[in-house]
Amino acid sequence: MTTIEEKFKKLGTDNAPGQEVRQRVDGPAASTAGAVIPGTPVDFSHGDVNESAFAPTPGSLDAFVHGFEQGGAQAYTEYRGHAEIRERVAGHLAEFTGAAVSADDQLIVTPGTQGALFLAIGATIVPGDKVAIVTPDYFANRKLVEFIGAQVVPIPMDYLGSRDKAGLDLGQLETAFKQGVKTFLFSNPNNPAGVIYAKQEIDAIADLANRYGVTVIVDQLYSRLLYPGREYTHLRATHIDPRQVVTIMGPSKTESLSGFRLGVAFGAEHLIDRMEKLQAIVSLRAPGYCQAVLRTWFEEPEGWMTDRIRKHQAIRDDLLSLLTDARGIEVRTPEAGSYIFPRLPKMRLDLAQFVRTLRLQAGVTVTPGTEFSKDATDSIRLNFSQNHEAAVDAIRRTIQIVERHRMD
Amino acid sequence: MTTIEEKFKKLGTDNAPGQEVRQRVDGPAASTAGAVIPGTPVDFSHGDVNESAFAPTPGSLDAFVHGFEQGGAQAYTEYRGHAEIRERVAGHLAEFTGAAVSADDQLIVTPGTQGALFLAIGATIVPGDKVAIVTPDYFANRKLVEFIGAQVVPIPMDYLGSRDKAGLDLGQLETAFKQGVKTFLFSNPNNPAGVIYAKQEIDAIADLANRYGVTVIVDQLYSRLLYPGREYTHLRATHIDPRQVVTIMGPSKTESLSGFRLGVAFGAEHLIDRMEKLQAIVSLRAPGYCQAVLRTWFEEPEGWMTDRIRKHQAIRDDLLSLLTDARGIEVRTPEAGSYIFPRLPKMRLDLAQFVRTLRLQAGVTVTPGTEFSKDATDSIRLNFSQNHEAAVDAIRRTIQIVERHRMD
């Protein structure tokens, strides 16, 4: 039997995005070679929701205040969320994903997409189960599975060696399913690599899920922020058995509404039902007044989303141009979202030392690749939803630090 | 091995407070004997936070808006909560409970006290552990323990047969500790009975915890709303080993701030540390902008709390006078908080039928006692944080429905 100490050893958060402030003074030593490089500090561990970068959707605060003014009806919703708001959101999600969503039975509002992920995993697996997880993928996926006491079966994705597809190893996925994996959890667009799964990959996942009776939890948090040139396929709109798929989204990233802690999960009725039961003991409900902000979701002002995508694309392109010009940095162009996941050249510092040096000497905070895959010891994740100018300058400083410490 | 279906069978929420709207049409049959009794509907399953009853603390919405205007610094806090807000709250909690609280290491902000309870339990027990739970006590306590796969050891509390103490069976508590219980979870003031543990009871719990090395999680959600005549003892300020106690509070009830989903847990550093790691995968953090509302906590306008207590006491006294005058209803005077837990006479309806009949024929929603103790088949819980007049009239209707269906 695993002790509680062993269980929590696997849940380290010191390198998790935004937790740098809690790093112990006895952490990895930073290099002090070379001078500090001045510049506006940039925290690439998450998006910047300030006015100078990407502020929350217009009208979101008003929607909150309106919710507050509704009093008890908005403070105390059903655990799965306010009925009329669910109705409204279900309509948008059905249209967006191309498959029906019942507001009554197939949708739950959660405290952020993190809440939705936890509830979906908690509603699907028990200790001892095997769960397929893509490497690299969102850092909490592995931890969620381990916390429940289930076993992670890693499925590699060759994002750097692929074009026009994510690069998932479908052969290994089928082998895992054959060997007893009954749950598959992945993000599309992929976090951290920013790549989109091709229609053939999504269709193949649906085929395999149907054939082996696997439940698929797909985190589509960034599926609204797509750059031109790639088609996006919603798993739930394929021929997958609808009882075997739960889709997770939320207005936190693209819409810069993270501060309200809102997410949704929609799909298989029996799983949504369990998720509500679990939510009742974990957090009761998504914050009541905040739920009212969902009234602005998919109802942004005309042109607002187009403009937001255009601005993100402009930053992406400037950062990419700097990174691909730098010697020995490999990077694939993100096709969606605001993450970029460059692979760095061999350095005289290990990844933890590099990340710390970068923060202390160049004021640039990034998330080490090892949060997303234990093999990604040479990669860093950057969220480029930032002030454009500051981000470009911070990447210049990052490249300077790499140059200082590279091996050849 | 427990299957996921078995696990969720124990987590039913149909009778949980506020979930009545989801009850299946094939639920328990309501009696249609007698006419519908007209009156303002009252939902006693939770407090009424509307202007006509108990509105949120003055300034709470302003504090939220101010937090929103802070942008990223308030949206993306450390997982354990905004550092400066923790500093402020830790000071108030130290003064309130009479023992020091380190803002850095001994305090975490959570999504509601429900979130704090889940994290505290998740940070303390593993499957197979034994956990002592008081009967009756808050309905989620048992479910939390069962969800983790641990075993509930019930400890009875004779609240109706006791005066000047809660009535906990300390002998049974010691037996449980002797037999391997390593975690004890209880609420003080007790939810649902509204009674306060005597100093001797709290001292005895501290003694036993020290002697048997038991971790105690104490939910003090209602400890600010005390009626005159009883002294309140904070467990953490006794001689209990500080590494063995976590205290849970929050501004959701007394302060009517439930719609913001805020709670705090404070105490044993290693447990707070684990709770943060768990929060990172369950909900990341308490809603960022909402955390700013904690700036109003323990900083309410002069006289506001006194007035709030006085108003609750006036409602309590009016309801009690009606209930004690009714034939066959037993009730103990709540000493704190806004719950009252009357025991009803024998009726021709079972509890589920009675609760449903009361709702459909009298517009009165209450929570069945069985949510709090499987033996409480003759009790109902009422949250009297309501509009005074409407609550009094709803209790009159409740007594009429009891009269209609009583056995003798």
- Rounded to the nearest angstrom, the minimum Cα separation between A326 and chain B is 30
Taking each helix axis from N to C terminus, what angle separates A170-178 and A199-212, rounded to the nearest 10 degrees? Answer: 10
pLDDT in tens, A149-196: 999 999 999 999 999 999 999 999 999 999 999 999 999 999 999 999
What does the alpha-carbon distance between residue B113 and residue A349 come to, in Å, rounded to a whole number?
43
Contact A19 B50 (CB under 8 A): no
* pLDDT score of A357 more than 90: yes
Residue range A45-72: average pLDDT? 96
* pLDDT score of A12 more than 80: no
Q: Up-side HSE of residue A38: CA atoms within 13 Å toward CB? A: 0
User: For position B16, what pLDDT does the model report?
Assistant: 75
CB-nearest to B127 from A75, A117, A127 is A127
Single-letter residue type at B215: T
ipTM of the complex: 0.95
How does the average pLDDT of chain B come out, rounded? 95
**Please, which pLDDT band fits residue B30 given cuts at 50, 70 and 90?**
confident
* Alpha carbon distance, N-terminus to C-terminus of chain A: 48
**How long is chain A?**
408
**Please, which pLDDT band fits residue B26 given cuts at 50, 70 and 90?**
low
- Rounded to the nearest angstrom, the minimum Cα separation between B348 and chain A is 31
In chain B, residues with a C-beta closer than 8 Å to the C-beta of A130 are none
* pLDDT score of A356 more than 80: yes
Pick the CATH number of B4-56+303-405 from 3.40.50.1000, 3.30.1360.120, 3.90.1150.10, 3.40.50.720: 3.90.1150.10
Which chain B residue lies closest to A69 (C-alpha atoms)?
A: B50
Residues facing residue A364 across a β-bridge: A42
Q: Up-side HSE of residue B182: CA atoms within 13 Å toward CB? A: 12
In chain A, residues with a C-beta closer than 8 Å to the C-beta of B144 are 281
Which chain A residue lies closest to B261 (C-alpha atoms)?
A: A287
pLDDT in tens, A106-149: 999 999 999 999 999 999 999 999 999 999 999 999 999 999 99
* pLDDT score of B293 more than 60: yes
Single-letter residue type at A140: A
Quote the Cα angle for B83-B85-B87, to 5°. 70
The count of other CB atoms within 10 Å of the CB of residue A303 is 9
In chain B, residues with a C-beta closer than 8 Å to the C-beta of A123 are 4, 8
Q: Which residues are CB-neighbours of B239 under 8 A, at least 6 positions away? A: B203, B206, B207, B210
User: For position A26, what pLDDT does the model report?
Assistant: 57
Lowest mean pLDDT among A18-22, A269-273, B216-220: A18-22
Q: Residue B226 has what DSSP assignment?
A: B
Count H helices and E strands in chain B, helices first: 13, 12
Q: Determine which of B281, B296, B387 to mutate to test the interface with A (most A C-beta atoms within 10 Å).
A: B281
pLDDT in tens, A364-390: 999 999 999 999 999 999 999 999 999
Q: Determine which of B277, B285, B293 to mutate to test the interface with A (most A C-beta atoms within 10 Å).
A: B277
In chain B, residues with a C-beta closer than 8 Å to the C-beta of A16 are 79, 280
Contact B49 A75 (CB under 8 A): yes
Quote the Cα angle for A238-A239-A240, to 5°. 90
- Rounded to the nearest angstrom, the minimum Cα separation between B188 and chain A is 19
* Cα B45 versus chain centre, distance: 12
- Rounded to the nearest angstrom, the minimum Cα separation between B287 and chain A is 5
CB-nearest to B111 from A21, A48, A287 is A287
Three-state secondary-structure class, residue A341: coil
In chain A, residues with a C-beta closer than 8 Å to the C-beta of B44 are none
User: For position A7, what pLDDT does the model report?
Assistant: 84
Which chain A residue lies closest to B70 (C-alpha atoms)?
A: A50
User: For position B326, what pLDDT does the model report?
Assistant: 97
In chain B, residues with a C-beta closer than 8 Å to the C-beta of A117 are 281
Backbone angles phi, psi at B350, to 5 degrees: -80, 175
CATH topology of domain A60-296: Aspartate Aminotransferase; domain 2 (3.40.640)
Structure tokens at A246: 């739960």
Residue range B200-209: average pLDDT? 98
* pLDDT score of B24 more than 60: no
User: For position A74, what pLDDT does the model report?
Assistant: 96
Nearest 10 degrees: Cα torsion A113, A320, B75, A218: 0
What does the alpha-carbon distance between residue B28 and residue B368 come to, in Å, rounded to a whole number?
13
**Position of tokens 């006479």?**
B345
E strands, B94-224, where? 107-110, 130-135, 151-156, 183-187, 215-219
Question: How many CB contacts within 8 angstroms connect chain A with chain B?
Answer: 204
Residue ranges of domains in chain B:
4-56+303-405, 60-296
Helix spans in A98-232 (H): 112-122, 139-148, 170-178, 199-212
pLDDT in tens, B317-374: 999 999 999 999 999 999 999 999 999 999 999 999 999 999 999 999 999 999 999 9
**Position of tokens 């394929």?**
A238
In chain B, residues with a C-beta closer than 8 Å to the C-beta of A260 are 287-289
* pLDDT score of B264 more than 60: yes
CB-nearest to A111 from B3, B117, B283 is B283
In chain A, residues with a C-beta closer than 8 Å to the C-beta of B127 are 1, 127, 149
**Please, which pLDDT band fits residue A15 given cuts at 50, 70 and 90?**
confident
* pLDDT score of B25 more than 70: no
- Rounded to the nearest angstrom, the minimum Cα separation between A168 and chain B is 25
